[in-house]
Amino acid sequence: MPLNTQIQTLGARKIDSPLPYNNLEDDKQVQVFVDKDCSQEIDPQILSLEAAGPRKKLYFNPTQAKCAIVTCGGLCPGINDVIRAIVMEAHHAYHVPSIIGIPYGLEGFIHTFNHNFIELTPSKVSDIHLFGGTILGSSRGPQDAEDIVDTLERCNINILFVIGGDGTMKAAQMISNAIQNRGRKIAVIGIPKTIDNDINFIPQSFGFETAVYKATEAIECAHTEACGVPHGIGLVKLMGRESGFIAAQATLALKEVNFVLIPEAPFTLEGEGGVLQALEQRLLKRGHAVIVTAEGAGQHLLERTSETDASGNVVLGDIAVYLRRAIKNYLNSHNVRHTIKYIDPSYIIRSVPANSSDKVYCGFLGQYAVHAAMAGRTDMVVAKVQGQYVHLPFEIVTRSRRKLNIHSDLWRAVLESTGQGTLKGMLPED
């Protein structure tokens, strides 16, 4: 079934843009090649997508518009940079008189939580990009879309910017649907955020590059620890519930990792072709080893649970605890003296400020989100796909979560770097 890439609009644009540029465009389409690394649910194809950027004509009168920004879900490097970019663009480029920050995620809309809105001015956000986290705070879990729209109506908000991951974009879509069902003219614009880099159709989310850099620091420490004792093992657990992008990319960045375990590759521990036997051989030959595992790896080896977190995600078993026990038992049974040093840098990785490259990326996303909103676009996210900033409907980015393609050159490079390509489960079955 062909993908519907049409972007919804609130109505005809009749107001001249106040921007001074002479190269403003209206509804330009760009051709983007989408392959299995962008989305594994479709065959590789060229899609025509609406280009992001300022328009000649606007739907909203900027000097009468009122905006709101909300951040949801887990932290990620660069959230403050996106907030700052939205506020600065809306205030200085479009002269929007009021930008409201919604505190603590979607629950900030619900009056029973008694959270106070934050007036976001240029002076308020001037230096927030120097810090990690989000100035607005965050929370997990759903809230009633009708209650949220009630608040938007009471506060006379015309534009809502939603910064969050897959679950948040689904919530934004429900909010947009509720708005449309009431016949209201409120734009809902998403800025996709995920530390796991797993949002459908978006090859790299903001903050991912910073997260990989911080992950390499943890891996380097694990390597140092492993080299410092006989048969030392450095074990590092990185974020990645359903995708191993951080683990794979950090491995390629440092080249000190011997085994990478990701959710997409159902590895085997025991027997011929298993990780334990290969680890023993590595220790006896080289004297040390480094193992990197994504948090969602190896769940097929652990006891399943029906428990879910506030976002509705199944609570994962702790693969690191399982691996430590399995490694210890195996090596002890084979009389291999060893020491395991375990490092979990998850919250350090996600809470640091963005690096310079991610800051540039966040700046573009914030600016393009404002341009889209002022032009009356809604029910969409701003995204960078194959080097081009485009508009994508909520429906496309929420269809599924993106996973690391183990047929890809990226995974092949990881296997070559670690030498684990002969192990069971590391290569796709014919």
Which amino acid is it at 82? Answer: V
Looking up tokens 């097929």 gives: 300
Instruction: For residue 108, give the DSSP letter.
Output: G
CA dihedral of residues 335, 295, 403, 76 (deg, nearest 10): -140
48 three-state secondary structure: strand
Query: Which residues are paired to 381 by β-bridges?
Result: 190, 392
Q: Which residues are catalytically annotated?
A: 196
- Tell me the H-state helices in 244-318: 245-254, 275-286
Assess contact for 52 and 368: CB atoms under 8 A.
yes
What amino acid is encoded at 164 in this protein?
G
* Cα torsion through 96, 102, 106, 112, rounded to 10: -130
Spatial neighbors of 186 by CB under 8 A, at least 6 apart, are 149, 152, 157, 158, 159, 160, 179, 378
Neighbours of 206 (CB within 10 A): 31
Cβ neighbours, 10 Å, residue 234: 28
The first and second tokens of residue 29, run together, are 């389409």
Residue 228: other Cβ atoms inside 10 A: 12
- Which residue in 54, 104, 77, 3 sits closest to 377, CA to CA? 54
> Are the CB atoms for 386 and 18 separated by under 8 Å?
no
- Is 123 buried (19+), middle (13-18) or exposed (0-12) by CB count in 10 A? exposed
Dihedral pair phi/psi, residue 185, rounded to 5° = -110, 75
Per DSSP bridges, beta strands 159-164 and 8-9 are: unpaired
Count Cα neighbours of 388 within 13 Å in the Cβ-side half-sphere.
17
What are the structure tokens assigned to 15, written together? 């107001």
Question: Are the C-beta atoms of 244 and 402 separated by less than 8 Å?
Answer: no
| Of residues 47, 39, 55, 7, the one with CA closest to residue 391 | 7
Contact 78, 114 (CB under 8 A): no
